[in-house]
Structure 1
Amino acid sequence: MFIPTLRLLAVSSALLVLAACSTRSISDSGYKGEGSSYTASAYAYKGELSPYDILGVDLDRPITEEDIARAMAARKPIQVKKGSSIMLVQSGAAIPDSDMVAALERSYSVATFSGVPAFPAGADQKVVQTLPKDQYAKLFRLAAAKGGYETIIVYWGLLEAGTQSGATKAVSWVPFVGASIPDQFQTMRIRLNMAVIDTRTGQWETFAPSAFTDEALSSSRSRAASDQEQVALLKKQAYDGAAEALARKYGG
């Protein structure tokens, strides 16, 4: 029985099935699919900074109602005025992404600082345990103070991706690209979380800028390139949005 071409197109489109989903850090955003490879280096990803360490929260110390009352009484609004100096840290990265630096430099004087954990997983835990619990937070504040930076901005980010693949490549419902049939949609989302820390007092606030999403269609030959184009696009959008949100929220 003859089945019209349009019917075949409709059927093949309906056979899209969920193939995979994944999450990765913005600081470890290389392609993770088939055929990907990694090269060990001094800048290799070593994990994320702990928000508890960065914000000086001691999980082992008993907290009293008096501690909470004192913290509330000492609380003052945080401002990051246009033109002020900030120290920028990207969790997990030796150097913050250039698009984030560029976005923030439209409003602020920006210096960068390493976000690679000093004590990644597998570090000598005996050494770690001998340090005061707020040492890491004070390390960042001291570095910022010596450089004359009034505010520390630390940010974390996740890239979340889900893919849908055609159940069969017998029929293509999109134009051919060379000799390769585009057969996979990837939907990717980027989410950021930012900590704004006053260098002088150690007071802090966190906020989450708007998330951004993108969809792309690729073939097996173009999968890695398409993935990295999505990463670059979403990072640029998210960083521009984060810089604008920061200026609106803390501009005073």
Structure 2
Amino acid sequence: MLLKVNDLYVNYGNVEALHGINIKVDEGEIVTILGANGAGKSTTLMTISGLVSPRKGNILYKDVEISKLQGHEVVKHGIAQVPEGRRVFSTLTVQENLNLGSFTVSDKDKINKNLEWIFELFPRLKERREQLAGTLSGGEQQMLAIARGLMADPKLLLLDEPSLGLAPILVKSIFETIKEINKGGLTVLLVEQNARAALKLAHRGYVMEIGKIVLEDSSDKLLKNPEVRKAYLGG
């Protein structure tokens, strides 16, 4: 077991955002979390990555308790998050954004090796490495956001809505890249509103509603589930 989220509760002030959720991710898997806006998907990822503190429950990563750690400490343990909306540093170059992604990695050879691999995954970023990130297209910025996360040399990549706002052809390209990353040995926890694409990519999935996990199953079974089809797949 790579990641285990146990009975997790999160509050924003007096509002309870997560109500005792349980999630597990095995090494080498792609696991997706589906749900409508406000279901608690992004809060789940932010709590795992140390950006939000839980009120109750724990998070185990490789059997080590990480729920009390700060975000930069979680990254050092091997978890990196690619946030919703990309959030690249628009006034910095592509290369400078990638350099910032590797701030927790001390091995220069490892950094150079990761950079070489990233430019193989995203040749367009190599072409634009001296270009300001803010001048990239939406698809290119999403590539950069994923690449920046990979520069941290994670073992678990948290992806929050990677297809948001992208044209269908770019969505297909991003999902093919996620599949390629996973084939290389990286475990992925994916939050995604494009339920059909996410379930075709993932091994297993969870469905969230109003801060609770209401369904868990293999992707194949979720794709055939009548309730999932009606709510997220258009019938």
Same fold? TM cut 0.5: no
Q: Which structure dedicates a bigger proportion of its chain to helix?
A: 2
Greater Rg, structure 1 or structure 2?
A: 1
